[in-house]
Every structure is written in structure tokens, then in C-alpha cells.
Amino acid sequence: MTNLVLFGPPGAGKGTQAEILKKKFNLVHISTGDVFRYNIKNETELGTLAKSFMDKGQLVPDEVTIKMLNAEVEKNVGAKGFIFDGFPRTTAQAQALDELLASKNTEVAAMIALEVEDKILILRLLERGKTSGRKDDADEAVITNRIAVYYKETAILKDYYEKQDKYYGVDGEGDVKDITVRLATVIEGL
Ligand code: AMP
């Protein structure tokens, strides 16, 4: 199995690139943000709980997120591998992912980070907010908070994967196609 963690701050292009890479490499794409939004739309209990955190740009608690992620992986037992997008975001989530994959005799092959300047992230998210219908993209204060949460709680995971020699940084600025080529080069070299 090839299990990839697509990493980077909000607006780095993880979702866009994961959609392309899943087809190219025949992987299952799991976006925790998308799963939460699906649950909000369908007014499930999980959706109601997640919404209060998402609207403020805060992280949904680990316990809830990890349980949901485990269930998504279990739904795809025959997968050739996964692209995790927006997960893990905390050390507890990274440890839980290691345990889950170990129980399936597999592991994270690489964390690939899309590196994008903060100024560009804010512009991209405000632009996306015009059409995405996402409340957390429409308000600059929420966007700024999401980026701050990324640096405070999530960026530390670079160390976690670097220690395992699994961290790859990729320039996430420029043309979508050029960024895909950069990512694919890393994946093909694994
Ligand atoms: P995203 O679609 O990845 O930008 O995520 C949107 C929002 O969903 C985040 O701001 C969090 O509130 C929540 N979320 C998504 N993934 C996670 C995660 N792994 N841990 C905690 N909260 C998450």
C-alpha cells in the first residue's frame, strides 16, 4: 500500500492536488474536512458537533476526528493506498494513524507538504470563499485563525515525519499542473 499524507496550511492546494493524484495513482482520497462538511450538510450528530469548531476555524477534538477517520479507512478495505488530506493535524492524530495503519500491516509512506506563503494563502482562501459556500473561507478573521492554528498545532508534524525520514517539501506556488508534476515526482521516487 502507498499511504500518503498531503500536508500544508489551509489554502495550500491539498484538496485540488489530491483529486488529481488519486486518479493518477489509483488511491483513495480521504479529506477529513470534506467528511465533516458532508455530515454538516446531512445534519448528523457528528456534523452538529464539528460545525461549532469549524465555523470558528478551530480544530475538531482529536477523539471525534480520529474515530471518524478510522471509520473512513474501514469503509475502503480493498484500497491500494490512501491520500490523507487534512489529517493528521495533531501529534495525537499522527500517532493514531500510525497505529491504525500498523494494524493493517502498512504505514505512512510519505508526508508531502505543499509550501505556500501566508499572503498567497489568504488571497486564495478569500477567492475560494466567493464560490465555495464555505463559511470558514468567507471571513478573513476565521481564515487568519485557521492559519494560526496550523502553525500552533499542526506544523509540528513536520518534525514527526522528518524524524522518520518521511518528510518531503514541495513548492506549492504557481500553476496547478506544475505543482502536480512536482508531487508526482516525489511519489514516483518513493
Ligand atoms: P479543511 O477542509 O481541511 O480546510 O478543514 C476545515 C475544518 O475542518 C478545519 O478548520 C477544522 O475545523 C476541521 N478539520 C478538518 N480536518 C481536521 C482534523 N484532522 N482535525 C481537526 N479538525 C479538522
**Measured distance CA(75)–CA(51) in Å, rounded:** 23
Q: Domain range for residue 173?
A: 2-188
User: Residue 136 — very low, low, confident or very high, per pLDDT cuts 50/70/90?
Assistant: very high
Tell me the mean pLDDT in the region 117-143. 95
Number of the ligand 1 atom closest to the C-alpha atom of 32: 16
Distance CA 101, CA 88 (A): 13
Inter-CA distances, 25 with 21, 73, 105, 185, Å: 6, 17, 20, 12
Residues catalogued as catalytic: 14, 89, 128, 134, 146
- List the CATH number of the domain containing 156: 3.40.50.300
Mean pLDDT for all residues in the chain: 97
Distance 86 CA to ligand 1 centre (A): 6
Give the CA angle between residues 12, 16, 21 to the nearest 5°.
115
| E strands present in 76-166 | 82-85, 108-115
Question: Mean pLDDT across the stretch 94-119?
Answer: 98
Instruction: Report how far residue 145's alpha carbon sits from residue 13's, in angstroms, rounded to the nearest whole number.
Output: 18
- Structure confidence at residue 158 as a pLDDT band (50, 70, 90): very high
Q: Omega before 9 cis (within 30°)?
A: no
Q: Cell numbers at residue 181, please?
A: 508534476
Ligand 1 binding pocket (C-beta < 6 A) is: 10, 32-33, 36, 53-54, 57-60, 65, 86-87, 89, 93, 136, 146
Atom of ligand 1 nearest to the CA of 88: 19
Strands 108-115 and 3-7: parallel
pTM of the model: 0.97
Nine cell digits for residue 15: 484538496
Q: How many structural domains is the chain composed of?
A: 1
pLDDT at 107: 98
